[in-house]
Each structure stands twice: as C-alpha cells, then as structure tokens.
Amino acid sequence: MSAARKVRENERKKKGIGIWLRRHKKLCILSTVLLIVAVVAGIVGIRINRAMEELERELNRPDTAKVERRTLVESVSTTGTFQAAYESNITCEVTNTTIQGVYVNLGDRVSAGDVICVLDTTELEKDLADARKDLANSEKSSREDMERAQRQLDDATRTRDESITDLDETINNALTNWQEAEADRKELESRLAEVESQMEQLKASYESTEGEESQKGNYMDSPSYSSLNEQLISLPGQISTAQRAEERAKNNYDTAVADRESRLQRINDTYQSAVENYDSAVERNANASERERERVAELEERIAAATVRTPIDGIVTDLGASLWADYNGGSLAVVKNTDTMRVEADIDEYDVNKIQIGQEVVIRSNATGDVELTGIVSSVAPAASGSETANSSGGSIGGFDLGALEGMSNGNLGSGGSDGVVYPILIDVALPGAEVRLGMTAKLSIILSRQENVLSVPFDAVQEDEDGGLFIEEITGKDEEGEYTTRKISVTKGVESDYYVEIVGLDVKEGMEIIVPKAESKSIFDLMQEAGAAGGM
C-alpha cells in the first residue's frame, strides 16, 4: 500500500471515529463519567472504611463521669390537669318560673355575693301576702286567747292570795278568842280567890279575942259580908261559864289549825289548775303561730333565693341562664375559683403505695416553661378508678392470640392489650399564677425523698457482677492502644433520682473518674441499618 493510500485510510478512519463519536456523544460522556466515578469511589471507599472503623471505635468507646456530690431527689412522675380547687354549680330551689334578668356573661370574674340572675317571683309574692295575712289572724287569735288565759290566771292568783289571807285571819281570830276566854276565866278565878280571902279576913277579925270589946260580935252582921257573900255565890257560876267559853274557843282554834292544810291544798289546787290552763294556752298559741311564721319565713327565703348569687369568687365557666327562659331546675351557672387551683392526676398501681398526703410536688406546664410551681398532695383515692382487663376485641384461633395480633397491627407489639390500674390523686397548687389556666396539662414530680450533699454517679455507672454485687469502674489510665484501664470498687446504692444514684463504698472518693458503660456495643453497619430503617431507607 502506497504512502498516499495509507494517509487516506488513516483520514477515513479518523473521520469514521469522529462520526461515531458524534453519533454516540451521550454514551461517550456517560462512559467517561462512570470511569471517573469508579476511580474516585475506589479512593473514597478506602478512606470511608478507615473513617467508619474510627467512628465505630468512638461510638463503642464507653462514656465517663465523675463521682460528685449532689442533692438527689427520688420522685414519681406523672401528668395531670389543672382544675379549680373550689367550684360551685349554681342552682335555685325556685322552679317552674322564668328568668327575668341575667347579670353576668361567660368568662366574667365574679365575687361572692354577686348576682348571677333573677327569677320571676310573682306567684311567690301572692303566696307571701296570703301567708302574712294568715299569720296576722293567727297572732290576733292567739293574743286574745292569751289575754283570756292571763286574766283567768290573775283572778286565780288574787283568789288564792285572798283565801290564804282569810284562812290565816280565821286562825288568828280563833287564837285571839281562845286567849281572851282563857284570860276571862283566869280573871274570875283570881277574883274568887280574892273574895274568899277577904271573907276569911272578915271572919277572923270578928273571932279575935284581942280586939276591943266593942268589935266582938257575928261577922255576918258586918256590912261587907253581904257583898262578899254575893260574890262567893255568883263567881263559881261565872267561872264555870268562862271555862266552857274557853273550851269552845280552844276547840275552834284547834279545828282551824287542823283544817288549814286541807283548805290550803284546795286553794293551791284551784290556783295550779289555772296555771296549767295558762301554760296550755301558751303552748297552744305558740305552736299555732309558729306554723304560720315558718310558712312566711319559707316564702321569704324562696323569694330571696330567686335572686341567685354566687357563693364563691371565681370565673363563670358555664352559663345556663338566659333571659326570659323557663326555669324548671338545673344549672344556672358554674363558677370556678382559679385563685386556688389543684391538679387532678392518676398514679399507676405500682407507685401508689409510695404516695402520701403532704408530699411536696414540683409542677411544670407548657404555659409556665421553665418556671416551676409547687404543690402538696392533698388526697389519694383508696380505690382504683380502672381495672386491668383483657382487650375485649381479642380472641384466639388454634391458640393464637388475636388481641396480640391487633396490638401488632397498631404498632404495639407485646403491649398485652390491657388497661393499667390507676388511682386518682389531688395536688393543691400554691400560687398558680395568671399564666396557668383550667384544663392545662401539668407535668408532676412527686418528691418521695431528698438527700443533700451525697456522693453520686449516673445511674448506668453502677454495674452488677455475676454474684449480684454492685460495683463501679474507676479509670486508672490508658493502655498502648488508648483504651481505658480500670479497677472495680464495690458500692451500695442509696437514693435514686431519674439519672443519678447515691453510692456508698469504702474506696469511693469525690472527683473519681469512672466508666459509664453503654447499653450494648454495636458495629457501624448495625447502626447504619437501624438508622436506615428508622429513616425509611
């Protein structure tokens, strides 16, 4: 082949290659890119493998911590709902009427005694007027009856006093008559004795031989004898008459004294009968008037109750009253006091025995952010509000639990399909603040115990050996490959918080650096597969 032909052949080949390249331009470009990518991937792959190996070592390297002194708080956490500590569902005993006025709006803040609404009392006012008229008539009749009973008692009192006075006068008069009759008898007897003495003296004067001769003779001839003799004859009869008069007077006095008690009893019986009649009138009239007064008081109270007032301070959270609506009972308004609030929450059955009335509670909410409120446990229910029961939608076919299958379908594999048993508790909140509203969710930490200034480590730093003993690993240095060298220190645990635990041991010292083991050592490929599954790769 000549040189010119070779030149032409080469040019033709070059031209053919150019045409082919032009026709397969995209393919050529793609092939070139793939070649470049392959070369780069090879280089990058080597570096990635090295980086992944280093990353795996870092990921599986144990964490470290220091033994530090802390205040540890053991607590039980749960969530609840802010509720008003005091609330009033306002109703009215006045029914079958209409609402004449409503004086609050939903959301209004009210004070105790403020009027919520007013009900129509037209019929009650008519009943009250009739009841007052009946009371007036009853009181008039009662007053007249009492006046009669009082007059009768006054008459009986006067009669009793007069009768007792007459009885005493009769006895006194009888005693006086007896004393006078006795005095008359004694005077006659004394007169008789005196006359007899005079007669003896007269007789002796005539019988004396020592006297003058002219004085001798019969004493009966003496002028005095006749008068004395007449008296000696008449005085014994008078004395006898006086004795009989004295006896009659004494008998009259004795009879009067003997009859006094019986007559006095009759007088007092008559008076006591009048007293009993008066007491019966008092009781009778008092009872009759009391019924009427109770009726009037009842109607007055119902009319007053028709002006419905709130018994507490608070916010109107529900308003059932509307103007001119019929009212036949039920709620007119609900007022809740938000100045003092409480949290209603549920405690799992496994924790309820740890909860005691009076325990401190730390409260947070989305509304308060990082601001913590404080509270006190004020009530723990003695009975559960729910019970642990199997899922009613479950069943079995050939021993296969359909309830478990339903749980799997809901993404709850192994949940057991049961409701937990919980116990309601109440927490009184101190100074809730304006940012807290009714119904908000409260995050609760119920303080079970608190230890100040104790040596503590992260909870995962305490490990368990084959014999069940507890220990921590103190970092003593690093080996040639940069791995930690450690020694075991036996410890016992004290108070546990959510992350830290108190430890006690002879060789435990503050500031000691220790190992915090990871839950499980995994390769980077396992981590990538887990991340890919979680991320939807």
- Tell me which architecture the domain covering 124-305 has in CATH: Orthogonal Bundle (1.10)
Give yes or no on whether 92-120+307-331 and 124-305 have one common fold: no
Sorting pLDDT into bands at 50, 70 and 90, what band is 518? confident
What pTM does this model have?
0.51
Q: Is residue 5 predicted with pLDDT exceeding 60?
A: no
How distant, in Å, are the alpha carbons of 312, 334, 502 from that of 103? 16, 14, 60
Question: Would the pLDDT of 25 be above 90?
Answer: no
Q: What is the pLDDT at residue 45?
A: 65
pLDDT digits (tens, 9 = 90+) for 442-470: 999 999 888 899 999 998 999 999 988 99
Q: Is the pLDDT of residue 393 over 50?
A: no
Whether residue 349 contacts residue 369, with contact meaning beta carbons closer than 8 Å, is answered with no
Q: Average pLDDT of 187-213?
A: 78
Arithmetic mean of pLDDT, 47-67: 70
Q: Is the pLDDT of residue 392 over 70?
A: no
* Distance separating alpha carbons of residues 458 and 107, to the nearest angstrom: 49
- Show the tokens assigned to 354: 């740890």
CA distances from 480 to 182, 477, 483 (A): 153, 10, 7
Phi, psi of 448 (to 5 degrees): -90, -40
Q: Which of 321-330, 345-354, 362-371 shows the lowest per-residue confidence on average (mean pLDDT)?
A: 362-371
Query: pLDDT grade, residue 401 (50/70/90)?
Result: very low
Neighbouring CB atoms inside 10 A of 319's CB total 20
Dihedral pair phi/psi, residue 217, rounded to 5°: 155, -165
Check whether 318 has a pLDDT greater than 80.
yes
The dihedral built from the CA positions of residue 463, 468, 474 and 479, taken in this order, carries a sign that is: negative
Q: How many CB atoms lie within 10 A of CB 160?
A: 18
Q: Which CATH number, 2.40.50.70, 3.60.21.10, 2.30.38.10, 2.40.30.170, labels domain 61-81+334-386+421-520? A: 2.40.30.170
pLDDT band at 510 (very low <50, low <70, confident <90, very high): very high
Summarised one tens digit per residue, pLDDT across range 220-260 is 777 778 888 888 888 898 999 989 998 999 999 888 888 88
Proportion of the chain above pLDDT 90, given as a percent: 39
Going from the C-alpha of 537 to that of each of 113, 408, 409, 438, the distances in angstroms are 67, 22, 21, 44
> Once rounded to an integer, what is the mean pLDDT over residues 340-349?
92
482-509 residue pLDDT tens: 788 999 999 999 888 778 999 999 989 9
Domain segments of the chain: what residues? 3-58, 61-81+334-386+421-520, 92-120+307-331, 124-305
CATH fold label, 92-120+307-331: OB fold (Dihydrolipoamide Acetyltransferase, E2P) (2.40.50)
**Region 418-445 average pLDDT:** 84
